[in-house]
Amino acid sequence: MTDKSAEQSRDFYRQDVKVGVYVCHCGGNISDIIDVEDVARDLSDYPGVSVSRNYIFMCSSTGQGLVEEDIRTKGINRVVIAACSPALHELTFRGTLERAGLNPYLYEHVNIREQGSWVHKSNKKAATEKSKKLIRAAVEKICRQNPLEAIRVNAARSIAVIGGGVAGMSAALSLGRQGFNVYLIEKENRLGGKLNSLWKAYPSEEDGEKTLEELEKDISSLNNINIYLESEVKKIDGYVGNFSVEIVKKGSPEKIKVGALVITTGYVHYIPFEGEYAYKTTKKVVTLPDFIEMLKDDEKNGSLKNVKSVAFIHCVGSRQNPSLDKPQKDEKVNDYCSRTCCTSALFRIKQLLEKYPDKKIFDFYRDIRTYGLQHESYYEELSKKGVLFFRYPEDTRPQVEVKGDKLEVKSKDILTWNEEVSVEVDMVVLLTGVMPADISVIVDDLKLPIGSDRFILEAHPKLRPVEVPNLGIYIGGTAQAPMDLLEAAYGGKAAASKASMLLSKGEISLDPFVASVNPELCDGCEKCIGECLYPGAIVMENGKAKVIPALCKGCGACAAVCHTRAINVAGYSLEQIDAMVEAISKE
């Protein structure tokens, strides 16, 4: 040991480096398996290490105090913390360093809990040895780390909200109220999206038009919200803080600069194929949105008076099965649940029965999914009123046939021990589901991640709701997943508050872990450009590659293909990685 350390201490690079190593017990989570004292002792005479300690909870204020104290009094200028996952406390300890006056990036986090004690419970000795190696590698890495600065980009205090349904209007309204310059872009000639057609909507039974009028009134009272009707997005480029959006408004193009984007483009109704449940072969088979129109109509002229019996069929165009249902253009069936059709249909039946209590209603469901606050009560209430429910098995579909001036609906019924039942009715309502609006231009330009259900995919449903991996882009409402009005409004507002947090300082600081090209080594082969997944992150300038820091994600793909080793990712330089590998492989 002494020989080696003597040799390595001659290394010029480390002359004035003083590393502090802190091994956390995590209250037993780590120390029950790993011999933390042995680890700390072992690291104390590793080259470059000045202080090596172990402590029960490093993240506690006393634990952090130890680090601050060592920085101030012992001249520690590099910190390695061996503890839990960095996802949990990396930011905590960066703050510790900053408070003690040290550059926060001169710190390395080693995960000896998830990657140590928790996965090697049965072999304490090996877990201890593994921890030592990981920490040694971290020490090697941090010794070669330069102070880094967060990347700062200027951000325009303006936001484009694309899609003016209830989600978009809610987002625009809350951003407008916070003083941002908002562009609300809607392709139709009126705001509101589906609010225009829901009539009296559950749960409040308030008329959608009325909700819409109120939202419109509030929006028009703010002159920092610019409404673009009959407008479509043609192209989007740029990056967080500096997006440029090309819009075609009533035929004439226009370009706007915004700091962030909120995407609330909503859904379209599933349209059954001709012949699917006899759709289009008779006018007596209608979709749920058609039926809502009919109810609205009936209020004025009693047009449903002569319809004595109605059958409802659930999950049309939702929860499909490729072997039973016809796919969409992209060859995929809609295998997801559209979530609002169950509640919506039961609510509409309730409306119908309130006016015409004698109508006979037959409901063919697969499951009743009336999620949400009091929505189960619609189901119970309707049962009590005599609505007859049938449950068809998932591997069958009810059949609709025209029989003279009636329709016959036949189905297997789980509730009747899978017997086939048949009813004769005057009308069939198909509970058609929802699909995301076609926004391929936006998706392609922004490289938005799309789920297998074609809706925009959230970065993480719990940790990063309404975000996508790309910074500065937020999603809300039914563009993201089927949901009801209330949830769509929540989604819009959540997206708005994330956008406003981002843009509130007029400047955005980004992690400094991005690539940079050493022009002296770059021979302009352009291999890196072909490898990069993020458009515009690495470009050619005067025959040399150049990285645009605000767009680079620091993935390192370019560095890996560069044959002259011209590219380094800050915090993960080739030299650092070489040193880590060497430290780990050394016996």
Ligand X SMILES: Cc1cc2nc3c(=O)[nH]c(=O)nc-3n(C[C@H](O)[C@H](O)[C@H](O)COP(=O)(O)OP(=O)(O)OC[C@H]3O[C@@H](n4cnc5c(N)ncnc54)[C@H](O)[C@@H]3O)c2cc1C
Q: Which does 314 bind (CB under 5 to 8 A by kind): ligand SF4, ligand X, other proteins, none?
A: ligand SF4
Rounded CA-CA distance 196/216 in Å is 12
Q: Applying CB under 6 A, does 170 fall inside the site for ligand SF4?
A: no
Six token digits for residue 554:
């620091």
- Give the torsion sign (CA, 579, 580, 586, 587): positive
Q: Which is nearer to other proteins, 244 or 309 (CB)?
A: 309
Cα 157 to Cα 164, 255, 355, 424, distances in angstroms:
20, 16, 51, 61
For strands 360-365 and 309-316, give the pairing. Answer: parallel
Rounded CA-CA distance 179/150 in Å is 27
- How many CB atoms are closer than 10 A to CB 250? 9
Residue pair 182/226 in contact (Cβ under 8 Å)? The answer is yes
Who contacts 520 (Cβ-Cβ below 8 Å, separation ≥6)? 566
Please give the residues from 9 up to 48 whose contact with other proteins meets the rule CB under 8 A.
Answer: none
Closest distance to other proteins from the beta carbon of 415 (Å): 4
Closest distance to ligand X from the beta carbon of 351 (Å): 10
Contacts 24+ apart (CB under 8 A), 114-120: 114/84, 114/85, 116/30, 116/33, 116/34, 117/26, 117/29, 117/30, 117/31, 117/32, 117/33, 117/34, 118/29, 120/33
In degrees, rounded to 5, the angle at the alpha carbon of residue 227 between the alpha carbons of residues 221 and 230 is 145
Closest distance to other proteins from the beta carbon of 357 (Å): 12
Distance of CA 536 to the CA centre of its chain: 22
The residue from 309, 424, 531, 572 that contacts ligand SF4 (CB under 6 A) is: 531
Residue pair 399/415 in contact (Cβ under 8 Å)? The answer is no
- The amino acid present at 561, given as its one-letter code, is V
Task: Please classify residue 512 by burial: count the beta carbons closer than 10 Å to its beta carbon, then call 0-12 exposed, 13-18 middle and 19+ buried.
Answer: middle
Count of residues binding ligand SF4 (CB under 6 A)? 29
Q: Applying CB under 6 A, does 423 fall inside the site for ligand SF4?
A: no
Integer Rg of the chain from CA: 31
Q: Which does 315 bind (CB under 5 to 8 A by kind): ligand X, other proteins, ligand SF4, none?
A: ligand SF4
The residue from 271, 555, 572, 574 that contacts ligand SF4 (CB under 6 A) is: 555
Q: What are phi and psi of 144, to 5 degrees?
A: -100, 15
Stretch that binds other proteins, among 26-34, 89-97, 322-330, 384-392 (CB under 8 A): 384-392
Closest distance to ligand X from the beta carbon of 186 (Å): 5
The residue from 133, 152, 269, 360 that contacts other proteins (CB under 8 A) is: 360
Cα 27 to Cα 56, 87, 109, 281, distances in angstroms:
5, 18, 18, 70
The residue from 112, 423, 475, 580 that contacts other proteins (CB under 8 A) is: 423
DSSP states of 149-166: --EEEE--SEEEEE--SH
Which residues sit at the interface with ligand X, rule CB under 6 A?
162-168, 185-188, 193-194, 198, 201-202, 232-233, 264-267, 288-289, 340, 344, 347, 434, 437, 439, 477-478, 483-486, 488
Q: Which does 318 bind (CB under 5 to 8 A by kind): ligand X, other proteins, ligand SF4, none?
A: ligand SF4
Q: Which is nearer to ligand X, 167 or 240 (CB)?
A: 167
Stretch that binds ligand SF4, among 247-255, 331-339, 349-357, 455-463 (CB under 6 A): 331-339
The residue from 384, 405, 462, 533 that contacts other proteins (CB under 8 A) is: 384
- For ligand X, which residue has the nearest CB? 165
Output DSSP code: residue 25: -
Q: Which is nearer to ligand SF4, 356 or 572 (CB)?
A: 572
Q: Which does 547 bind (CB under 5 to 8 A by kind): ligand X, ligand SF4, other proteins, none?
A: ligand SF4
Six token digits for residue 428:
């069939």
Please give the residues from 361 up to 380 whose contact with other proteins meets the rule CB under 8 A.
Answer: 362, 379-380
Q: Which is nearer to ligand SF4, 22 or 379 (CB)?
A: 379
Please name every residue paired with 48 in a beta bridge, in sequence order, or none if there are none.
none
Q: Applying CB under 6 A, does 553 fall inside the site for ligand SF4?
A: yes
The residue from 554, 568, 570, 580 that contacts ligand SF4 (CB under 6 A) is: 554
Q: Applying CB under 6 A, does 572 fall inside the site for ligand SF4?
A: no
Rounded CA-CA distance 95/71 in Å is 13
Q: Applying CB under 8 A, does 416 fall inside the site for other proteins?
A: yes
The residue from 167, 262, 430, 569 that contacts ligand SF4 (CB under 6 A) is: 569
Rounded CA-CA distance 39/37 in Å is 5
Q: Applying CB under 8 A, does 205 fall inside the site for other proteins?
A: no
Q: Which does 531 bind (CB under 5 to 8 A by kind): ligand SF4, other proteins, ligand X, none?
A: ligand SF4
Nearest to 96 by CA among 113, 79, 110, 111: 79
Output DSSP code: residue 352: H
Instruction: Please name the helix (run of DSSP H) or strand (run of DSSP E) that holds residue 343, with its range, or none.
Output: helix 341-355
Stretch that binds ligand SF4, among 248-256, 279-287, 337-345, 492-500 (CB under 6 A): 337-345
Q: Which does 485 bind (CB under 5 to 8 A by kind): other proteins, ligand SF4, ligand X, none?
A: ligand X
**């090596």: which residue's tokens?**
52
Rounded CA-CA distance 104/97 in Å is 5
Q: Which is nearer to ligand SF4, 389 or 534 (CB)?
A: 534
Q: Applying CB under 6 A, does 318 fall inside the site for ligand SF4?
A: yes
Please name every residue paired with 111 in a beta bridge, in sequence order, or none if there are none.
83
Rounded CA-CA distance 377/360 in Å is 19
Site track for ligand SF4 across 351-370, x = CB under 6 A: ---------------xx-x-
Six token digits for residue 207:
């008329």
Q: Which is nearer to other proteins, 32 or 419 (CB)?
A: 419
Site track for other proteins across 396-415, x = CB under 8 A: --------------x----x
Nearest to 529 by CA among 518, 513, 517, 521: 517
Q: Which is nearer to ligand X, 105 or 267 (CB)?
A: 267
Contacting residues toward ligand SF4, per CB under 6 A: 314-315, 318-319, 337-339, 341-342, 366-367, 369, 431, 433, 515, 531-532, 534, 537-538, 547, 552-558, 569
Q: Please report, as ranges, the residues that interact with other proteins according to CB under 8 A.
A: 360, 362, 379-380, 383-386, 388-389, 410, 415-416, 419-423
